[in-house]
C-alpha cells in the first residue's frame, strides 16, 4: 500500500461524504458507516422508524457514486422470483428466456426487509454472500460493486418478521439514523421547502473508483497484535454468559475489513485498536443473540459488548505499525 493510494482513497471517501451531506443533514457518523460498508464490500442494515431518510440516503449514495440503483419494496406477498428474476417462455424463440430481477444492480435498496416472509428474505442470501444468483440451475454473477442497503422497522411494529440469523450475519454493519436535532430539522425544512436537494445532486465518483478503493482497503496493514485483539473480542462473545449465540468467523473477517476501511478513510495505511473498538458494536451486536436470562434482565447486546471491550487488553502502539 503506497501513500498515494491511501490519499487517493481518503479523498474519494471525502468527496462522497461531502456530497451525501448535501442531502442527509447532521448524520455524519451514519454516512461514514455507509462508506465503510461500501469500501469493505459489505452490506448495511438500517433499523429505524419511517421518515428519517433511509431511502433518500440509499438514492443519494447511488447518485454520488454513479452506480446503477434499484429498490425493492418488501411486502408479505413478495416472492423470491420478484427479487432474483424468473425464466419466461418465449414462443417466438421456442425457449425460456431469463428476465433478471432488481437484484441485478450495483446498489440495491431492500426497503422494509422485515415485512417479507423468511422465504423471500432468503433470496438475498446467495447474492449478499457470494455476489451471484442461482436460478433454474444456472448461476449468474452480479454487477460489481454490489452493495445492499436494507431498512427495517423496529420489531414492535405490526406486520414484521424477524430476520433469520443467517440473514443478519450477511450484513456487515447495523445502525440507525435517528431523529434529527431541532436545529438540523429546522435546516431540513428550510432547504427542502422549495425543492429537494437530491434533485440537484450529481455524481462525484464512479464504479471503477469504488472497485479501486475496495482493492486498496484489502491492502491496509493489520498487525498480528491487532488480529489477536479482534479475535479475543469475537471469542469472548462466544463464551459470554449473556449470549447464547456469539460472533461467527464471518463476523471476525467483517470486523477486520471494516477496520481497514476506517483506517484508510482516516488517511492511515495501518489499523489501530480504536478502529476495531469503535466498529465492534456496529459489526457484531446485530449477529449476537442474548440468552433468556439476559433478556429478562433487560440487558442489551450493546451493554454486554461494552463489558467485553472493557475487559480485553488493548495492543501497545509499537506493536501495530508496519515494519519500515
Among residues 180, 215, 250, the one where a domain terminates is 215
Question: Residue 298 pLDDT > 90, yes or no?
Answer: no
Q: What is the pLDDT of residue 44?
A: 94
| Residues 226 and 203 occupy one common structural domain | no
The model's confidence at residue 268, banded by pLDDT at 50, 70 and 90, is very high
What's the total number of domains in the chain?
Answer: 2
CA distances from 270 to 42, 172, 276, 313 (A): 20, 20, 12, 19
- How high is the pLDDT of residue 2? 64
What CATH code is carried by the domain that includes residue 278? 1.10.8.80
Dihedral-angle region of residue 132 (phi above 0 means left; psi in -120 to 50 means alpha; beta otherwise): beta
Same domain, 53 and 198: yes
Q: Are residues 152 and 299 in the same domain?
A: no
Q: What is the mean pLDDT of the chain?
A: 87
Q: Which three cell numbers stand for residue 224?
A: 498480528
Residue 267 backbone class (left: φ over 0; alpha: ψ -120 to 50; beta: rest): left
Preceding amide of 145 cis, omega within 30: yes
- The span from the CA of 99 to the CA of 135, in Å, is 10
- Does residue 285 share a domain with residue 209? no
Sheet containing 147-152: order of strands: 69-73, 107-111, 147-152, 44-47, 173-175
How long a stretch of residues is the chain? 324
| 262 and 138 housed in the same domain | no
Residues 229, 198 share a domain: no
- Between CA 127 and CA 140 the distance in angstroms is 10
Given pLDDT bands bounded at 50, 70 and 90, which one contains residue 291? confident
Q: How far apart are CA 203 and CA 201, in angstroms?
A: 7
Tens of pLDDT, residues 132-161: 998 888 889 999 999 999 988 776 666 677
Contact criterion met (CB below 8 Å) for 176 and 282: no
Indicate whether 109 and 16 sit together in one domain: yes
- Out of 192, 215, 238, a domain closes at 215
Phi, psi of 198 (to 5 degrees): -65, -25
Residue 166 maps to which CATH number?
3.40.50.300
- Amino acid 206: pLDDT: 93
Decide if pLDDT at 26 tops 90. Answer: no
Q: Do both 5 and 151 map to the same domain?
A: yes
- Residues with Cβ within 8 Å of residue 173, at least 6 apart in sequence: 33, 36, 37, 42, 43, 44, 45, 258, 279, 282, 283
Give 22-90 as a DSSP string.
TTS-S-HHHHHHHHHHHHTT--EEEE--TTSSHHHHHHHHHHHHT--EEEEE--TT--HHHHHEEEEEE
Q: Using CB atoms within 10 A of its CB, is residue 244 exposed (0-12), middle (13-18) or buried (19+)?
A: middle
| Per-residue pLDDT at 34 | 94
Q: Identify whether the C-beta of residue 207 lies closer than 8 Å to the C-beta of residue 75.
A: no
Residue 192 pLDDT > 80, yes or no? no
Statement: residue 102 has pLDDT above 90: yes
Same domain (yes/no): 28, 170: yes
Inform me whether the pLDDT recorded for 22 exceeds 60. Answer: yes
Q: Could you tell me how far CA 168 lies from the centroid of its own chain?
A: 11
CA dihedral 305, 306, 307, 309 (to 10 degrees): 90
The pTM is what?
Answer: 0.90
Q: Does 77 lie in the same domain as 47?
A: yes
d(CA 161, CA 214): 33
Q: Does position 319 have pLDDT exceeding 80, yes or no?
A: no
> What is the spatial distance between Cα 135 and Cα 284, in angstroms, rounded to a whole number?
31
Based on the fold, state whether residues 196 and 228 are members of the same structural domain.
no
Distance CA 187, CA 165 (A): 39
**109: which 3 cell numbers?**
435498496
Answer yes or no: do 208 and 244 share one domain.
no
Burial-class residue 98 by CB neighbours within 10 Å (0-12, 13-18, 19+).
middle
Q: How confident is the model at residue 180 (pLDDT cuts 50, 70, 90)?
A: confident
Residue-number span of the structural domain to which 292 is assigned: 220-324
Strand ranges for 91-190 from DSSP E: 95-100, 107-111, 132-135, 138-141, 147-152, 173-175
Q: Does 324 or 191 have the greater pLDDT score? A: 191
Domain boundary among 181, 199, 215: 215
Amino acid at each position: 500500500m503506497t501513500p498515494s493510494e491511501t490519499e487517493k482513497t481518503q479523498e474519494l471517501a471525502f468527496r462522497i461524504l461531502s456530497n451525501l451531506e448535501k442531502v442527509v443533514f447532521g448524520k455524519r457518523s451514519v454516512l461514514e458507516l455507509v462508506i465503510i460498508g461500501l469500501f469493505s464490500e459489505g452490506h448495511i442494515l438500517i433499523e429505524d422508524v419511517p421518515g428519517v431518510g433511509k431511502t433518500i440516503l440509499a438514492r443519494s449514495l447511488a447518485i454520488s457514486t454513479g452506480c446503477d440503483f434499484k429498490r425493492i419494496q418488501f411486502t408479505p406477498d413478495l416472492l423470491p422470483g420478484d427479487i432474483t428474476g424468473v425464466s419466461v417462455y418465449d414462443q417466438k424463440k421456442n425457449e425460456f428466456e431469463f428476465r433478471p430481477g432488481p437484484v441485478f444492480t450495483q446498489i440495491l435498496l431492500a426497503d422494509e426487509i422485515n415485512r417479507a416472509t423468511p422465504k423471500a428474505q432468503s433470496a438475498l442470501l446467495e447474492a449478499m454472500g457470494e455476489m451471484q444468483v442461482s436460478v433454474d440451475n444456472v448461476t449468474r454473477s452480479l454487477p460489481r460493486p454490489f452493495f445492499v442497503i436494507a431498512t427495517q422497522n423496529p420489531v414492535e411494529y405490526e406486520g414484521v418478521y424477524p430476520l433469520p440469523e443467517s440473514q443478519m450475519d450477511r450484513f456487515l454493519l447495523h445502525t440507525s439514523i435517528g431523529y434529527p436535532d431541532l436545529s438540523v430539522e429546522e435546516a431540513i425544512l428550510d432547504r427542502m421547502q422549495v425543492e429537494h436537494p437530491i434533485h440537484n445532486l450529481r455524481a462525484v465518483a464512479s464504479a471503477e473508483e469504488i472497485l479501486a478503493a475496495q482493492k486498496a482497503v484489502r491492502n491496509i496493514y493489520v498487525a498480528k497484535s491487532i488480529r489477536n485483539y479482534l479475535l479475543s473480542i469475537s471469542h469472548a462473545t462466544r463464551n459470554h454468559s449473556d449470549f447464547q449465540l456469539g460472533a461467527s468467523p464471518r463476523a471476525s473477517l467483517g470486523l477486520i475489513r471494516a477496520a481497514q476501511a476506517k483506517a484508510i478513510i482516516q488517511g492511515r495505511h495501518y489499523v489501530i485498536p480504536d478502529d476495531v473498538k469503535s466498529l465492534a458494536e456496529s459489526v457484531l451486536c446485530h449477529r449476537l443473540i442474548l440468552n433468556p436470562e439476559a433478556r429478562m434482565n433487560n440487558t442489551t447486546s450493546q451493554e454486554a459488548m461494552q463489558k467485553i471491550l472493557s475487559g480485553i487488553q488493548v495492543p501497545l502502539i509499537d506493536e501495530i505499525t508496519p515494519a519500515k
